[in-house]
Amino acid sequence: MIRIHNLTKSFGVFKAVDHISLEVPQGSFLVLVGPSGCGKSTMLRMLAGLERPTSGTVQFGSNIVSDGDRGWVIDPSRRDTGLVFQSYALWPHMTVAGNVDWPLKVAKMGKAERQSRVAEVLRMLGIEALSARYPNEISGGQQQRVAIARMIAPRPAILLFDEPLSNLDAKLRVEMRTELLRVHRATGATSVYVTHDQVEAMTMATHVAVLNNGRVEQFGSPEELVANPSTAFVATFVGTPPANLVPVNTLPSTRMDGLPKEALAMYRPEDLLAAGEGSDDSLAFDFAEASPVAGRTMLTGTRGTLRMTAVVDGAPRLQVGDKVHFRLPNMPAALFAQSGERLS
């Protein structure tokens, strides 16, 4: 459904998006995830037609909607897309029903059909009782539902979300993730979702593109990214908690045999053991924090710029300033070069 080829967006000498190519099939839920400034929102704006690519193409189905090399884009109103902004951008002088009705009126839909469709999407989002209220009379979570209802009312083929949950509290974010997936399935549309929160990415997506410095570090399913990270950045960015990377030359001698000394060794948190006393196969860190996670304990230590996290049963009782010793498995789960590419 969506084909992106060599897509680039430059602002002067700075490349916000740098030669990105990827494809997702009809009905997919693509998540663009990465740290602030990695290019994900710029990429979404090019999909929406709000930014003109410097080079490369964007194709929806059989139609090329942007061509940076030829210098043209199809107007956003003709792309059959819907967009939800981070700020929701509701019309303050219109009621909830009026906000949802507006894009249908712009599309010159008949009044009776508009009223039927507005009622339908308000029911779908569970906000039919709010139809006569104004945006300043409802909560942030309710405003977000209105923004989603307005987006899906014209039945667009592609839904675009620009960090729509970032203004909500933690509990409501979890609830709305479920709601967004339900809407996605109900509409049958292809969705593209931008977030810096890798938990959102890994729980919602059928496909994930991990962006860093304007490039795609890895593209695949959430399971593929966690099981086989292709770069050091992906290894330490995805997963809850993410994997640990440790320079091989800092490992205990019992764990260095056969490993290149200049490499980075990856250890998954669930493969580590933690204790208050050391052994010949452990690394000592300064205890930083511990928190319960699904009946286990997530325990973190620091040593200089290194940070190591283990998910364990029966964690030792420690206080800040104590030493925590992480016992390593016989072999790391993967090896990476200092430059970031995967070695094995």
pLDDT of 321 reads 85
Residues 190-200 have pLDDT tens digits of 999 999 888 88
Same fold yes or no, 2-236 and 241-336: no
Residue 165: per-residue pLDDT: 85
- Residue of 313, 246, 258, 315 lying closest to 283 (CA atoms): 246
Cα 48 to Cα 72, 81, 199, distances in angstroms: 14, 7, 25
The CB density around residue 314, as the number of other CB atoms within 10 Å, is 9
Radius of gyration of the chain (CA): 24
Query: Given a cut of 90, is residue 170 above it in pLDDT?
Result: no
Residue 140 has pLDDT above 90, yes or no: no
Residue 166 has pLDDT above 90, yes or no: no
What does the pLDDT read at residue 150?
A: 93
Which one is the CATH code of 2-236: 3.40.50.300, 3.90.1580.10, 2.70.98.60, 3.30.565.10?
3.40.50.300
Task: Give pLDDT tens digits for 203-229.
Answer: 999 999 999 999 999 999 999 999 999
* 241-336: CATH superfamily: Nucleic acid-binding proteins (2.40.50.140)
Domain spans, the chain: 2-236, 241-336
CB-CB contact of 187 with 155 (8 Å): yes
In the chain, the amino acid numbered 202 is M
> 250: pLDDT confidence band, cut at 50, 70 and 90?
very high
pTM of the predicted model, to two decimals?
0.90
Band of pLDDT at residue 176, cut at 50, 70 and 90: confident
- Per-residue pLDDT, 261: 92
What local confidence, expressed as pLDDT, does residue 198 receive? 84
pLDDT at 316: 87
pLDDT band at 174 (very low <50, low <70, confident <90, very high): confident
Amino acid of residue 57: T
Report pLDDT for 167. 79
> pLDDT above 90 covers what percent of the chain?
80
